[in-house]
Amino acid sequence: MGVNFPDIRYIITWGATRSLLDFHQEAGRAGRDGVQSHVVVLYHGQQVGPCEKEVKQFLKTNGCLRVGAYQSLDTNMKSLSPLHNCCSFCATVCKCNGHSCNAEALPFEAGASLPEEAANKRTREVTSRDRRDLDNALKEVVTSIEMQGLSIDNTSSHGFSEQLISDVVSKCSDIFTIEDVLSNFPVFSVRAALHILEILQEIFLDIPNLEKMLALFSFSLDFSHHTWFNLEDLTFTDSGDELYLSCEETPLPTPTVF
């Protein structure tokens, strides 16, 4: 609050804001001299859970990020013209050939590229019936947990929120490992992530090393909440028939630039 430097060129939001109003308040500190500036949002999938619905919709924007950021405030919002002055998405589709059109990557993006394993990321064909079956199976897990008296309310104990179920169903074509779940969805426990992988395996029969993961993280009663908390710091990678664990920091996805 109170920052009024006119020539701020970059606002970097580390973790998605709780509301769109917070996002716009932070973004408003850039470019107060009228010169084009950039707002960069860096976030991890698990950080999105506490965010308001409008923020989650904005982060899922498949088109113009300016429209996505203002849609809930102004339904008539349009992309800026020329498009290369609007957002990172519009800059990639702009064909005006004007000044700064198809500009080079931002300084902190220079040389950035997807890891080889991300470039060759697995995917599966998913039918509408598969999605219905997955949705029903995830909801059955929630019902089972609630019937056992393990839930105080709809999500406080089991963590299977309606938003989580919806996200998993919509993106199930890309989920194959525990890292896929923990890195891209608002899942706050290894237990919940493994439940999701078990259900995917029942439907698609293509989850690698699932039995090894289940054996490694046995749901025995002597697993305390402290143990589960410590396991959240681990990342998981698959290599052939072996399962590897490391405590290296999980990399953030490619930044969204608005």
- For 122-128, the CB contacts below 8 A with 24+ separation are 122/174, 122/176, 123/173, 123/174, 124/172, 124/173, 124/204, 124/206, 125/173, 126/172, 126/173
- Residue 135: pLDDT over 90: yes
Structure tokens at 84: 């290369």
pLDDT of 209 reads 81
Q: Are strands 235-239 and 242-246 parallel, antiparallel or unpaired?
A: antiparallel
Structure tokens at 201: 């395996």
- Residue 231: pLDDT over 80: no
Task: Give the separation between CA 213 and CA 222, rounded to whole angstroms.
Answer: 18
User: pLDDT tens for residues 30-84?
Assistant: 888 888 888 988 887 777 888 898 998 898 888 899 999 998 888 889 998 888 8
Specify the higher pLDDT residue, 152 or 120: 120
- Residue 235: pLDDT over 50: no
Average pLDDT estimate for 2-8 = 79
Q: Full-prediction pTM beyond 0.75?
A: no
pLDDT of 129 reads 93
Average pLDDT estimate for 216-233 = 43
Average pLDDT estimate for 197-225 = 73
What does the CA dihedral 236, 248, 245, 254 come to, rounded to 10 degrees?
10
pLDDT of 219 reads 45
pLDDT of 109 reads 61
Q: Which of 108, 101, 69 is nearest to 85 (CA)?
A: 101
Of the ranges 66-70, 111-115, 116-120, which is most confident? Answer: 66-70
